Amino acid sequence: MENFLSVILEAKKMAATDYVGFTFFVGCMAMMAASAFFFLSMNSFDSKWRTSILISGLITFIAAVHYWYMRDYWANFGESPTFFRYVDWVLTVPLMCVEFYLILRAAGATKSLMWKLIFLSVVMLVTGYFGEAVYTDGSGPTIWGLISGIAYFVIVYEIWMGGAAKLAQSAGGSVEKAHKTLCWFVLVGWAIYPIGYMAGTADGQWYSFVGDFGLNMDVIYNIGDAINKIGFGLVVYQLAVDSK
């Protein structure tokens, strides 16, 4: 309770122009609310959808906890909490990939599809962390960012045109519709992260023009997280509702 009150007090002392702190705080509250919604709605659905709703709640709950710590880190040090952010992503993004498997399981999706997407997401995140926080000199951010981007586009290919797409097409109906919506989240929503990556590693790199627009890495990431993680869960929730 004391920790919660301390966060509230920090928010009251937040400068009016502290957009980073504001998005951390709002993101934390939004993720908490989404988690409560998903967890409390689980028993409203058949057992085949409860795991999907549970995963949706876990995604937003994990993010809420990390946003709590990231907001505190930002308030105390005024620095981007890169490490905590990537710990959050390495837990939540693979779970988002699991959602594809869960909604396509009835159409014949195998665990090999799930593990393939998980593996690609981990490669995307680990190499992204290397470029943003470890190998930050010279061409390091560009090389590691390229590897991360390749993994991302392989995921995009798999869900839009690969095995996952074919399974969704064969399932048809609300499953295909939900799958396509999640695909758009990955294609458009997840594209926010490379933009944030480039904004954060733009010094001296070939994509230095990104920094010229005054884009703040943390604001970009925070907006992307709120849209993608809550949005993913709402798509799965709507699918469960349509399947009643």
Between the two ends of the chain, the Cα-to-Cα distance in Å is 39
Counting every residue, how long is the chain? Answer: 244
Which residue is listed with tokens 């005054």? Answer: 214
Question: How far does Cα 120 stand from its chain's mean position?
Answer: 14
Q: In the prediction, which pLDDT does 174 show? A: 93
State the Cα–Cα distance between residues 204 and 139, nearest whole angstrom: 9
Which tens digit of pLDDT belongs to each residue from 55-81?
Answer: 999 999 999 999 999 999 998 888 889
Which tens digit of pLDDT belongs to each residue from 92-143?
Answer: 999 999 999 999 998 899 999 999 999 999 999 999 999 988 988 888 888 9
Cβ atoms 230, 56 nearer than 8 A: no
205: left (phi over 0), alpha (psi -120 to 50) or beta: beta
State the Cα–Cα distance between residues 57 and 243, nearest whole angstrom: 19
Q: In the prediction, which pLDDT does 213 show? A: 45
Name residues whose C-beta falls within 8 Å of residue 141's C-beta, 6 or more positions apart in sequence.
131, 132, 135, 201, 205
How does residue 5 score in pLDDT terms, banded at 50, 70 and 90?
low
For the domain with range 2-242, which CATH number is right: 1.20.1070.10, 1.20.1050.140, 3.20.20.70, 3.30.420.10? Answer: 1.20.1070.10
Query: Residue ranges of the alpha helices (H) in 130-228?
Result: 140-160, 163-171, 173-184, 192-200, 209-212, 217-225
Which tens digit of pLDDT belongs to each residue from 193-227?
Answer: 887 777 667 654 545 544 444 457 788 889 889 99
What does each C-alpha distance from 175 to 22, 89, 100, 108, 169 come to in angstroms?
36, 26, 10, 12, 9
Q: In the prediction, which pLDDT does 166 show? A: 95
HSE, CB side, 13 Å, CA atoms: give it for residue 208.
5
Name residues whose C-beta falls within 8 Å of residue 14's C-beta, 6 or more positions apart in sequence.
21, 22, 25, 75
Cβ atoms 194, 149 nearer than 8 A: yes
Question: Angle at Cα 57 formed by Cα 200 and Cα 159, nearest 5°?
Answer: 65
Q: 214: which 2 tokens?
A: 């005054």
Q: What is the pTM (predicted TM-score) of this model? A: 0.88
The ranges assigned to domains in the chain are: 2-242
